Amino acid sequence: MQQLLTGKTRLKGFGGEWKESKLEEYFTQRNETNQKKLPLLSVGINGVYPQDESIKKDTSNTDKSKYKRICVGDIGYNTMRMWQGRSALSSLEGIVSPAYTIITPKYPPHQPHVSCHSNDCYFCLKKS
């Protein structure tokens, strides 16, 4: 794994020099709030899922006005809890805690001119 992360070993289909990029080149941050009618979602190691399907107690604030909207195709991550796997690609639309950062891709996945395909970025984010 270390060989892959350092670029010493490459996966089939990937060649050439590595280009260091900032996430802002490929993603924009979504800061939509006041979406109280959308379902409350949780972000965990197994993805984004409805809070009411969680085995954990709902400790969310009763006032959801500051909760952030997450849409299908967005990535939600909690910077303070990344080490616990608190990042995921969303297949649902809803709201998540304001502690999360929500990013949305600027380009459709696997667009030929984009060197960082979305799935690759999602993997890097999840493993960071």
Amino acid at 7: G
Asked if residue 123 has pLDDT above 70, the reply is: no
Give the side-chain half-sphere CA count within 13 A for 43.
Answer: 31
Q: What is the pLDDT of residue 7?
A: 67
pLDDT tens column, 36-59: 899 999 988 778 999 888 777 777
Instruction: Give percent of the chain with pLDDT exceeding 90.
Output: 32
Provide DSSP, the chain.
-HHHHHTSS--TT--S------GGGTEEEE-----TTSPBEEEETTEEEEGGG-SS-----S--TTPEEE-TT-EEE-GGGGGGT-EEE-SS-EEE-TTSEEEEESS-TT-TT-SS-HHHHHHHHHH-
Mean pLDDT of the residues in the chain: 78
Residues near 51 by Cβ (< 8 Å), separated by ≥ 6?
39, 40, 41, 42, 58, 60
Across 76-101, average pLDDT: 85
Q: What is the pLDDT of residue 67?
A: 94
* Of residues 20, 43, 30, 14, the one with CA closest to residue 105: 30
Asked if residue 28 has pLDDT above 60, the reply is: yes
Tell me which residue has tokens 């608190």: 86
Residues near 60 by Cβ (< 8 Å), separated by ≥ 6?
40, 51, 67, 97
Q: What is the pLDDT of residue 122?
A: 44
What's the predicted TM-score (pTM) here? 0.70
